[in-house]
Amino acid sequence: MSFEFNWEQNEGKINELKQFINEKKLTKGALMPVMHKAQSVFGYLPIEVQKIISEELNVPLSEIYGVATFYSQFTLIPKGKYTISVCLGTACYVKGSQGLIDKVKNELSIEVGQTTPDKKFSLQATRCIGACGLAPVMTVNDDVYGKLVVEDVAGIIAKYKDK
């Protein structure tokens, strides 16, 4: 799944990022704050934005890509309006969370780590979210759904498709 970066639509965001970079470029350790700012402005770190950061900070693109792929708070693809997270911690896994993930993948035609083409849904697998008593657990943004069975998944997704 690829998403095309639109230079024209992002012109204001690019200028905002460049202004931030100019304020930080002489600061030691500027890369991480700049990458955080870029992600907050664009919602993700597409290669085009990584190239801007590389050129403006004079940091190799490979280093920026390495940081972006190492730290889990950075993403290289846009996230959907609704992020569906399925817990794969021990309690949830034992109680069938893999089946929940498989059902979400089937319902939305995406894999873990992907976003639907309409940018409405993203799917991620998480480790323990601390709701073991409700296992297996799935969240949609801040909404928590517990004690699920595979048959519950389609109805939960349908609620968000209609929003």
Share of the chain above pLDDT 70, in %: 99
Query: Is residue 94 located within the same domain as residue 50?
Result: no
Q: Is residue 40 part of a domain?
A: yes
Identify the CATH number of the domain in which residue 124 sits: 3.40.30.10
Residues of the chain with pLDDT under 70: 1-2
Q: What is the DSSP string of 94-156?
A: HTTHHHHHHHHHHHHT--TT-B-TTSSEEEEEES--S-GGG-S-EEETTEEE-S--GGGHHHH
Taking the CA atoms of the chain, what radius of gyration do you get in angstroms? 18
Query: Is residue 58 located within the same domain as residue 31?
Result: yes
Query: Is residue 142 located within the same domain as residue 115?
Result: yes
Q: What is the pLDDT of residues 30-45, one digit of tens each?
A: 999 999 999 999 989 9
Query: Is residue 102 located within the same domain as residue 134?
Result: yes
Of the chain, the end-to-end C-alpha distance in Å amounts to 24
What is the value of pTM for the model shown? 0.74
Q: Is residue 31 part of a domain?
A: yes
Residue 2: predicted pLDDT: 62
Per the structure, the count of domains in the chain is 2
Q: Is residue 89 part of a domain?
A: yes
Q: Is residue 4 part of a domain?
A: no
Which residue range forms the structural domain that includes residue 155? Answer: 82-161
Query: Is residue 60 located within the same domain as residue 93?
Result: no
Q: Could you give the CA distance from residue 76 to residue 81 in angstroms, rounded to a whole number?
A: 16
Q: Is residue 127 part of a domain?
A: yes
